[in-house]
Homo-oligomer: A and B are copies of this chain.
Amino acid sequence: MKIGKNTVPRTAICTSNEDTIVVRGLDLCQDAIGHLNFADYFFLLLTGRRPDAAASAVLNATLVAITEHGFVPSVQAARMTYAAAPDALQGAVAAGILGCGSVILGASETAGRLFVDVAQRVDGGIPQAQAINDALQQLKAQRQPIPGYGHPLHKAMDPRVARLFAVAAEAGADLRHVHLAQAIEAAIPAVFGKDLRLNVSAAIPAVLLGVGFPVQSLRGVPILARTAGLIAHLAEEAESPSGFALSYQATRELVYDGDAPPGFTPTGSPR
């Protein structure tokens, strides 16, 4: 069935013949395998450009920073899925990735769009303090959270933030969006009446935008990183199962607040 006007697929990423696989204009075997590390190759695929040293350092650092943070919800979902369907590793990884949505890992993208938006207003001649205040007031008026600020565990300072900013500075990355992110952090109390510190979801776009990583693909960074973390967790799950134990623990205090037929009594303690 024809949907839309375009009927011919096109791509500029990869082509091949019997002898050669071409990726972004390079010969995969001659120019990429053994020459680029995996994260750099990801940057090349995504942008069509080889990363410079700063981009390589910063992209690898951001990926390492968010690959793993313990039994977060997406890891739990993946481990429960693997416990139930151990023949399909790819299914358990997919279940975990599906949690990279707007609330949790997608905040990297939303924060990045905020930074780009404020930067564009500043480029258009609005003073930075005013551009920041406008953006925060708008979020407040719409009762939306500030993407990338606040963290349930690290109340004071997510330690990954400082480290990512240090890596970016050492690598010689453009720090404009880092400074912007910090200026937003400083402006939050006046608008929202409380401290909300930069978390890793804001630090990631702040450093990546300074090395030419495209804002449209920011959500790809946590997705790729978490895929690596999920594979490690599923290897542990295969050796030392926790998936069903997690689901058991999760419901020990479950409250049923619906109706029941006359005479029905729950068994012993709540399940």
Chain A positions within 8 Å of B, measured between CB atoms, are: 1-4, 6-34, 36-39, 41-42, 45-46, 48, 57, 59-61, 63-65, 67-74, 76-78, 80-81, 83-95, 97-106, 152-156, 159-160, 162-164, 166-167, 170, 214, 216-217, 219-220, 223-225, 227-229, 231-236, 238-261, 264-267, 271
* A12 & B247 in contact (Cβ 8 Å cutoff): no
Given A223-B93, A251-B1, A256:B11 Cβ within 8 A:
yes
Number of copies: 4
Instruction: Beyond the given A6-B245, A9-B253, A17-B265, please list 7 additional residue pairs across the A-B interface where CB-CB is below 8 A.
Output: A37-B64, A84-B104, A85-B98, A85-B101, A97-B97, A224-B224, A250-B250
Give Cα distance in the complex from A91 to B82, angstroms: 12
Partner of A8, one of B86, B227, B245: B245
* B84 & A103 in contact (Cβ 8 Å cutoff): yes
* A264 & B156 in contact (Cβ 8 Å cutoff): no
* A102 & B73 in contact (Cβ 8 Å cutoff): no
Partner of A249, one of B46, B60, B253, B266: B253
CB-based nearest B residue for A271: B1
Give Cα distance in the complex from A88 to B236, angstroms: 21
Given A73-B243, A103-B86, A229-B45, A153:B81 Cβ within 8 A:
no
Residues of B close to A233: CB separation below 8 A: 11, 13
CB-based nearest B residue for A229: B45
Given A152-B1, A164-B33, A170-B34, A13:B68 Cβ within 8 A:
yes
Given A250-B71, A258-B25, A259-B24, A38:B228 Cβ within 8 A:
yes
Q: Which 10 A-B pairs have the closest CB atoms?
A: A85-B101, A25-B259, A12-B258, A9-B242, A220-B231, A45-B232, A88-B88, A94-B94, A77-B77, A250-B250
Given A7-B249, A65-B33, A14:B90 Cβ within 8 A:
no
Q: Could you pull out 7 A-B pairs where Cβ atoms are within 8 angstroms?
A: A4-B245, A42-B231, A48-B258, A73-B84, A76-B247, A83-B103, A95-B95
Give Cα distance in the complex from A256 to B8, angstroms: 11
Residues of B close to A264: CB separation below 8 A: 17, 20, 22, 27
The interface centre, meaning the residue of A19, A232, A254 with most chain B CB atoms within 10 A of its CB, is A232
Residues of B close to A163: CB separation below 8 A: 29-30, 33-34
Given A88-B85, A95-B98, A259-B24, A167:B34 Cβ within 8 A:
yes
Residues of B close to A166: CB separation below 8 A: 34
Partner of A216, one of B45, B235, B242: B235
